[in-house]
Amino acid sequence: MPNLNFTERVVKDRITKTFDVTSVHNDCYLGKIEWYSPWRRYCFKSITSHTVFDRNCLVEIVVFIDELMSTRSQSK
């Protein structure tokens, strides 16, 4: 059962996609996934250094980013 929701956010004048990450359990905003140019990849950015993630949540984030990167490489 998923712990996180990934919702695309429309960001004006942005080429790459941005996604809000929220908890399924209480709809709490945890951070976002967006393109990080210096690393040339999508990354998760937490809104606070006090956010705690268990293994399952981290795996969900990794799988989602892997899918974004795969889609990006296929579209080129």
Residue ranges per structural domain of the chain: 4-75
Give all strands of the β-sheet with 4-9 in edge-to-edge order.
Answer: 4-9, 18-23, 29-36, 41-46
pLDDT tens per residue, range 11-69: 888 889 999 999 999 999 999 999 999 999 999 999 887 888 899 999 999 999 999 99
Whole-model pTM: value is 0.86
Of the chain, the end-to-end C-alpha distance in Å amounts to 33
